[in-house]
Structures are given as structure tokens and as C-alpha cells.
Amino acid sequence: MSLRTALVAGEAPIESCTTAFWWSAGFFAAGALITFLLHRRGVPQQDTSAAPVVRM
């Protein structure tokens, strides 16, 4: 095995872990952005004429 082949074989696992990290960071950021955009602000308004709700 030549030196160049050995170096490439040694760097391959690092590159794959780095790629996986950045993909997961991107998915996490996209999920955080979607959550931020869909989250409702403020306190929900209570409808006094609605049927009672049981919470467990």
C-alpha cells in the first residue's frame, strides 16, 4: 500500500464523521426553525361556552 493510499484510508473515517455531523446539525437547525415558526405566542384564549375538558 502506498503512502498516499494509506493517508486517504486514514482520512476517510474522519471525513464521513464530519459529513454526518454537519448533516445532523442541518436537520436540527431546520427542525428548530420550523418549531419557531409554528409555535404560537401568548396564552390561549378560553372559550367559556365550550364543554368542559378533562385533563389527566
Q: What is the pLDDT of residue 2?
A: 83
Tell me, what's the pLDDT at 10?
A: 87
Per-residue pLDDT for 1 more than 80? no
Q: Does residue 56 surpass a pLDDT of 80?
A: no
- Using alpha carbons, select from 45, 24, 43, 27 the residue that is nearest to residue 35: 27
Q: How much is the average pLDDT of 30-43? A: 92
Is pLDDT above 90 for 32? yes
CA angle 16, 21, 26 (to 5 degrees): 130
Percentage of the residues of the chain whose pLDDT score is greater than 70: 98
